[in-house]
A and B are shown apart, each in its own frame.
Chain A
């Protein structure tokens, strides 16, 4: 069965960077895409960007352009999201979510458990 397991909670100071990982299992990682979505406390879901695990191509939301980098390690079936220049407004739960490119999917069928990132001085 498909599983996405994310790295643990992080506490960072303003101005720092954070890197969250997402290990995939139960499917062929390099055939599909991995997206990142965040949710600030009590707020809506916010799409951040994605990586095509087939070739490493990325696309980022304009909201995060220049601050976010999404990468993949095909040998480890892992996608990662790094967010820089953190402020308190980046305090949120960060989710990875799969999109099944092989069926022409435009929806997130499996989600990681979420990683809480707290930005505090």
Chain B
């Protein structure tokens, strides 16, 4: 399985919104509503931010939202805060009990 395609970096100023895309194929992102997003700060384990394309786990601010269109999923972070600066990874179920991650996106809060 090839990795899902994410932009290597995005940036935004505090209070602004940013969107991170995650492109796959009909065999993964487009074929299932099982896309999840993870936030990872340096030296830390990933943290689940969005699951099943649009759902937020308890405790995740509603500034984080997810969507999908065709073979591309997106994570939008509104009202950017300094603590949002981190790496973000998408992940999709890819059928046959397998999963695939994206290449990761570094978010910089200016």
* Interface of A toward B, CB cutoff 8 Å: 35, 37, 44-47, 50, 59, 61-63, 95, 97, 105-109, 111-114
Contact partner, A108, options B1, B38, B98, Cβ 8 Å: B38
Known contacts A45-B38, A106-B93; decide if A113 and B52 are in contact (CB<8 Å): no
- Tell me if B101 and A44 are in contact (CB < 8 A): yes
| Residue positions of B touching A, CB distance < 8 A | 1, 3, 32, 34, 36, 38, 40, 45-48, 51-52, 57, 89, 91, 93, 96-104
Establish whether residues A107 and B45, one from each chain, have CB atoms under 8 Å apart when the complex forms.
no
Which A residue's beta carbon lies closest to that of B3? A44
- The complex places the Cα of A107 from the Cα of B56 at a distance, in Å, of 12
22 contacts between A and B (CB under 8 A): A37-B46, A44-B103, A44-B104, A45-B38, A45-B46, A45-B101, A45-B104, A46-B101, A47-B98, A47-B100, A59-B96, A61-B1, A63-B1, A105-B51, A106-B36, A107-B36, A107-B52, A107-B91, A108-B48, A108-B91, A109-B48, A113-B45
